[in-house]
């Protein structure tokens, strides 16, 4: 499951530097998450760091991008070249 940022985003930018995969970027109106890069912090942390720092709770799971834990682990390995 990749995460997404909803229109409730206040553009505070605290999420962007927390992403270990550089999946978060400033979009045209709000910050966005590239689902090809988002691993929900699998391989890096126990929980998604962007969700932990978001002051308005606007980073839910993207219902259009459901991925299993093993798929997120494979994505992590592909992105980093490291095994879990």
Supply the CATH number for residue 57's domain: 3.30.70.20
Q: Is residue 10 part of a domain?
A: no
Q: Is residue 5 part of a domain?
A: no
Q: Is residue 7 part of a domain?
A: no
What pLDDT shows up at residue 1?
Answer: 74
- For residue 60, CA distances in Å to 10, 82, 84 come to 15, 27, 25
The pLDDT tens digits of the residues spanning 5-26 come to 999 999 999 999 999 999 999 9
Domain count along the chain: 1
CA distance 66 to 70: 12
Q: Is residue 38 part of a domain?
A: yes
The pLDDT tens digits of the residues spanning 21-66 come to 999 999 999 999 999 999 999 999 999 999 999 999 999 999 999 9
What pLDDT shows up at residue 67?
Answer: 95
Helix (H, G, I), strand (E, B), or coil: what is residue 78? helix
Query: For residue 26, what are the β-bridge partners?
Result: 31
Helix (H, G, I), strand (E, B), or coil: what is residue 26? strand
Q: Is residue 28 part of a domain?
A: yes
């Amino acid at each position: 499951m990749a995460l997404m940022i909803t229109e409730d985003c206040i553009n505070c930018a605290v999420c962007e530097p927390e992403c270990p995969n550089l999946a978060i970027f400033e979009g045209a109106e709000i910050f966005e998450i590239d689902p090809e890069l988002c691993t929900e912090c699998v391989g890096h942390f126990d929980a998604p760091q962007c969700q932990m720092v978001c002051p308005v709770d606007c980073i839910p799971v993207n219902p259009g991008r459901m991925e299993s834990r093993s798929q997120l682990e494979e994505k992590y390995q592909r992105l980093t070249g490291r095994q879990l």
